Chain A
Amino acid sequence: MGVLDWIVFFAFIGYVVWDGMRRRSGANDLEGYYAGGRKIPWWAAGLSIMATQASAITVIGTTGQGHEHGMRFVQSYFGLPFAMVLLCIFLVPLYRSRNVLTPYELLEDRFGPMSRTLASTIFLCSRCLALGAVIYAPSVALSAILGIDTMVAVFIIGALTTTYTLVGGVSAVIWTDVKQMAVILIGLVVVFVTLLWELLPQFGSFGKMLEVAGAADKLGALEVMPANDGLMPRTHAEVEGAIGDPSFWEQKYNVWAGVFGGLFLHLSYFGCDNSQAQRLLTSKNASESKKSLLLSAFAKVPMQAFVLLIGVMMWLFYAVNEQPMLYKADHITASQSEKFAARIAPLQVEFDTAHAERKASLLALAKVEGGVTADPVALKRYHDAIASVDNARKKARVLIHATTDAKGKDEDDKDTNDIFCRYILAQMPTLLLGLIIAAIFAAAMSSIDSVLNSLSGATVIDIYRRWIKPDCSDAQALRVGKFITLFWGVVATFTALFFAGGGSIIEMINQVGSWFYGSLLGIFVMALFMRRAGDLAGALGLLGGMLAVLVVHNTIKVEFLWYNVVGLVGVLVVGFVTSLVVKRR
């Protein structure tokens, strides 16, 4: 990074922290600290909703997904617009019917204290785990750029974000999110234009670029028919023993999992997760809250497709230009050590040969008249070359992991989350590099701050003021709230340590959420439609939903998006049965 990059980067970080801190005047009571005084305009709340979801993971992890697996990941967002509409119809009017500060307060009115406390606790546990991953992702970028340890980077990001969130409350969160969202979008557009600038002279047209990327199976944005017909799920033993064909439920991304599984995931995330639902409580009325939700409904799927396309273009860039065999900083360092040099050398030769063959076959395919499928031989050569490159990269990762891992496990230490950083460090001109790094940080902070404030809100409102000190004043509760923001900042920073070395972080986040989200959604569905259910039915329903997910997870192979449906059904079944036995008081 050059001096100009550093200036841009520090100027942005400094501005965000200052902007957050100066909001403290509006955070002098509980409603100001956790609901922005109910004065936030819909567009700011809407951009904050988008920024909170668009974490650094969106920038780093999603482009990495695009590079490695193409555009299929976009399908998991197909349920989002429908989820937003359903939330506007059913949950927003419910939330705005009372002056609550967390959505879980409503559960006490409807069911009783047990259901409220359990739902709030589930939120606290699941979000704390996910927040660890949200902090970890940009720390990888910072460590790669500055050459510092990832854990040092974790502490820097955690400390900065905790500081302004603690001081300014949700107003600081929302107004910094607005600026952060702007920088994220500018950063993504800059990377896209830079890639176009590099690739257009090499391919001649954007259409040609899409043809060769599509021929590499990178543009599968919507899969209607599953690759097989089996609807009967397989057990884990059958999967491990490769018995039978993979079932429909094992497919990670197709339109059905995206629309139905994604619908329930997003209903729960935006409607029942306090880090997002809190935004719905900050606008002046229900109408404003609905508009803020619908902003994401219109923008999210196209935005996600755009980010994945950037990843695909990065793959294309590396297909016709020099590509590193390894992307992870510690892999690269290890590969350069004397210990590895002799063992990596043959793999490097294999990779270079495969890369040259892939480039030659790609350029040959690009020249085929009548489209890429007109010459099956050239297409087959291209596919074989792609497989060879991927295989060589995988062998290098496995070799380094097996040798450096304390247990010597023969695992593939994937580098999906490192591709974007490696690309921008090597290819971005000075000044723009600083801007992109600032965008990654903006994305990270915009998600972390929201979660910190919402964790603090749920702890103070649903636990402290409900159980520990019900008669405390607003001023006391606010002081405790600020301390608890600090507490969660520290806990989340330490949780990030657990995510070091994980696979694709974007998937990991959704997986952690899917364990709990279906159950959280279920209790709110019960509140709306199951009038006879009481507190015991609500609480047992919640536990039943999570138990259902646990049972499914341990018995059959089902992709994580479906866990949301399993959890929801589990809550409704257990809640309904309990309500038949135990009458509501």
Chain B
Amino acid sequence: MADGTTQESSQERVPLGSWPRLYTLCCVLAVVVMALLYWFTSHYNVQIKS
């Protein structure tokens, strides 16, 4: 079987330079999207009271 599945090449380019930075960006963007949806809801939505 082909090898090379365990080692990440030192030449491998990680987006933004490091994995922790990329993970942080991912989480921050998720929170920003949620904040935008919260704004969207509070700005436009009117709850129907049953």
Contact = CB atoms under 8 A, between A and B. Distances in A.
Nearest to A289: B5
A78 B2 contact: no
Given A82-B27, A85-B26, A217 B48 contact: yes
Interface of A: 31, 37-38, 70, 74, 78, 81-82, 84-85, 88-89, 96-99, 210-211, 213-224, 255, 281, 284-287, 290-291, 294, 297-298, 301-302, 305, 372-373, 379, 383, 386-387
A222 B41 contact: yes
Nearest to A259: B34
Given A222-B34, A285-B8, 13 more contacts: A213-B44, A214-B45, A215-B46, A217-B45, A219-B44, A220-B47, A221-B37, A221-B45, A222-B41, A255-B34, A285-B6, A286-B6, A287-B9
Nearest to B47: A217
Interface of B: 1-9, 12, 14-15, 19, 22-23, 26-27, 29-30, 33-34, 37-38, 40-41, 43-48
B30 A294 contact: no
Nearest to B7: A285
Contact of A99 (B1, B8, B46): B1
A222 B27 CA distance: 17
Contacts of B46: 214-217, 372-373, 379
Contacts of B38: 221-222, 224
Contact of A287 (B3, B14, B33, B43): B14
Contacts of A211: 44
Contacts of B19: 88, 290
A81 B37 contact: no
A78 B41 contact: no
A85 B9 CA distance: 21
B23 to A, nearest CB: 5
B4 A284 contact: yes
A89 B22 CA distance: 12
B39 to A, nearest CB: 9
Nearest to B49: A383
Contacts of A89: 23
Contact of B22 (A37, A97, A294): A294
Contact of A285 (B4, B15, B40, B47): B4
20 contacts: A78-B30, A81-B26, A84-B26, A85-B23, A98-B6, A213-B44, A215-B46, A217-B47, A219-B45, A220-B41, A221-B37, A221-B38, A221-B41, A284-B5, A285-B4, A285-B12, A291-B15, A294-B22, A301-B34, A387-B48
A31 B2 contact: yes
Contacts of A387: 48
A96 B5 contact: yes
A34 B45 CA distance: 47
A99 B5 contact: yes
B45 A37 contact: no
Contacts of A88: 19, 23
Contacts of B4: 38, 284-285
Nearest to A89: B23
A281 B1 CA distance: 13
A291 B14 CA distance: 9
A457 B21 CA distance: 35
Contact of B6 (A97, A218, A219): A97
Contacts of B2: 31, 37-38, 99
Nearest to B44: A214
Contacts of A386: 48
B26 to A, nearest CB: 5
Nearest to A383: B48
Nearest to B29: A298
B30 A286 contact: no
A373 to B, nearest CB: 6
A331 to B, nearest CB: 25
